A and B are shown apart, each in its own frame.
Chain A
Amino acid sequence: MMDALAKLGRGALDFFERLGRGHLFLMYVLAGSPPLLLRLRLWTQQMYSVGVLSLLIVAVAGLFVGMVLGLQGYNTLVDFGSEESLGVMVALSLVQELGPVLAAVLFAARAGTSLTAEIGLMKTTEQLSGMEMMAVDPLQRVIAPRFWASFVSVPLLAAIFSAVGVFGGYFVGVGLLGVDDGAFWSQIQSRVDFHEDVMNGVIKSVVFGFVAAWIALFEGYDAVPTSEGVARATTRTVVHTSIAVLGLDFVLTALMFD
């Protein structure tokens, strides 16, 4: 019994210590970010690496999710004779929920893991220590460009995910199942509100981008500098980001419906 309590206490202490380290890390990254404005090339290089290279997986996933939504939505709506509403159903599902959430999760799987592994390996091979000894702050030089590139990339990827998804729904609904072309687009145009619906999705994807970037980079920076440590950190990036994104999605949705 006492052992179990001690173990629980140790676990709680470790958790809060790590949480504290994570917040300090974030504080240092944010504080070290202004010089990045003078070195935009560092940021754009990372935008390519984490954003552009994630484009294909996000677009393909968005297409399939949109196609599934078109198929499922049509089967449900047709029973009520309202299959013309398929477009708005697909668009709202994607813009408000699936776009931001799935883009962030896919980002964690594709770019987040690679960021964690890269930073973890830099730590393992003493590259970060080497930079510090050359009087170059790795938080400014390595972490901050990757953080801001990820932060900007996730909302853009979410927008692309949603846009491609709508075309996936269109392809299945209009192209294969015979929903009226004009009704599909006009319903979207009239019932998807920019401020209410689109901006809520944008806010979500901005928050998810911030969290996904923070988790991926912190896990790499805090990894135990061994091959096993980096492997564990990479796994934690996907698990923690997925849980954080889904949890925050509920909180944000509840706040937005309020």
Chain B
Amino acid sequence: MLDKNTHPDDVVVKVRDLVFSRGSRRIFNGVDLDIRRGQVTAIMGPSGTGKTTLLKLIGGQLRPERGTIEVEGQNVAQLSRRKLFELRKRMGMLFQSGALLTDLNVYDNVAFPIREHTNLPESMIRDLVLMKLEAVGLRGARGLMPSELSGGMARRVALARAVALDPMMIMYDEPFTGQDPISMGVLVQLIDRLNHALSLTSIVVSHDVAETSAIADYIYVLSDGKVVDHGTPEALGRSQSQWVQQFMQGLPDGPVPFHFSAPPYGEDLLAGGKG
């Protein structure tokens, strides 16, 4: 299913035969995917398909039941805590909530990873922080507290923080959810621009088809614990799968039915009684 001609060095994240469950519910059942260097790769699928869980597995916050997840050739699940933290210094993650530290202002939030992992003088940290904030258009908001930011601004600050240590890869967890059109446009542009300007590799988890397709080089569509299709946005637009067509076009009925499973409507109305 995956492209066998891909050069191994081109693949930053390699997932093979991934199996993962939460309680008795199987989230992934044999997922294979490759995230290629320098590309924006989107992981799409309906809510509850485990897109965020996949990011946590790639980041080593969860361990798979079976299968392997390799980041830059290292099997994430088998890394020691120290080596995992070393790897994470080269990964950025943008959480859906932003996950800003609420007791620190915007400036200190962006400075946080730099202060934690380097011994740079404060004057240099200031320059770095202002550069990152300038890149997301929020240099003027550096004195604000997270509670004073809108949802879109909070995500832009989180994005500035995620790139603070110049990572090789960034994972975006539902970056467009709950954003107004302007904020959404800003975020779409920022993800695209940062990926190319900083030579990053980006993984965008989302179910916003139009916005994600506009910037993704490659898309994986997940459903029921498996990759149901993958390819470029154009290729997926021509997919033969009815399910993929329903998802990509946002059709209300199709392989995923509008109605939840129920007895016939007429019978139900005539049955009387309660509930």
CA A8 to CA B103, docked complex, whole Å? 42
Instruction: List, in ascending order, chain B residues with CB within 8 A of A135's CB.
Output: 85-86, 88-89, 113, 116-117
B61 & A129 in contact (Cβ 8 Å cutoff): yes
Contact residues in A for B251 (Cβ distance below 8 Å): none
Is A127's beta carbon under 8 Å from chain B? yes
Residue B243 CB within 8 A of the other chain? no
Q: Which residue of B lies closest to A142 (CB)?
A: B101
Contact segment of B91-99, B134-142, B217-225 = B91-99
Q: Please report whether the interface of chain B is mostly helix, strand, loop or mixed according to DSSP.
A: mixed
Query: From residue A114, how far is it (CB to closest CB) to chain B in Å?
Result: 13
A137 within 8 A of B: yes
- With a cutoff of 8 Å between Cβ atoms, the chain A residues found around residue B102 in the complex are 122, 125, 127
Bound-state Cα–Cα, A125 to B89, Å: 21
Q: Decide: A134 and B101 in contact? CB cutoff 8 A.
A: no
Looking across the interface, which residue of chain B has its beta carbon closest to that of A136?
Answer: B116
The range of chain A's interface size is 10 to 19
Among A122, A127, A131, A134, chain B packs the most CB atoms within 10 A around the CB of A134
Q: How far is the CB of B240 from chain A (nearest CB, A)?
A: 38
Contacts A125-B102, A127-B101 given; does A132 touch B88 at CB 8 Å = yes
A110 within 8 A of B: no
Contact (Cβ within 8 A) B88 A126? no
Contact of B86 with A125 in the complex, beta carbons under 8 Å: no
Complex alpha-carbon distance, A126 and B100, angstroms: 8
In angstroms, how far is the closest chain A Cβ from the Cβ of B84? 8
Docked-complex contact A133 and B93, CB < 8 angstroms: yes
Question: Who on chain A is nearest to B56 by CB?
Answer: A129
**A132 partner residues in chain B, CB cutoff 8 A:** 61, 88
**Residue A232 is within 8 A (CB to CB) of chain B in the complex:** no
Q: Give residues 123-177 of B contacting A (CB, 8 Å).
A: 158, 161
B116 touches A125 (CB 8 A): no
Closest 10 CB pairs of A and B: A130-B99, A135-B88, A126-B99, A135-B85, A133-B93, A135-B89, A134-B113, A126-B95, A136-B116, A126-B97
Selected A-B contacts with CB under 8 Å, 11 pairs: A126-B95, A129-B99, A130-B101, A130-B158, A132-B88, A133-B92, A133-B93, A134-B113, A135-B89, A136-B117, A141-B116
Which residues of chain B have a CB within 8 Å of any CB of chain A?
A: 56, 59, 61, 81, 85-86, 88-89, 91-93, 95-97, 99-102, 112-113, 116-117, 158, 161
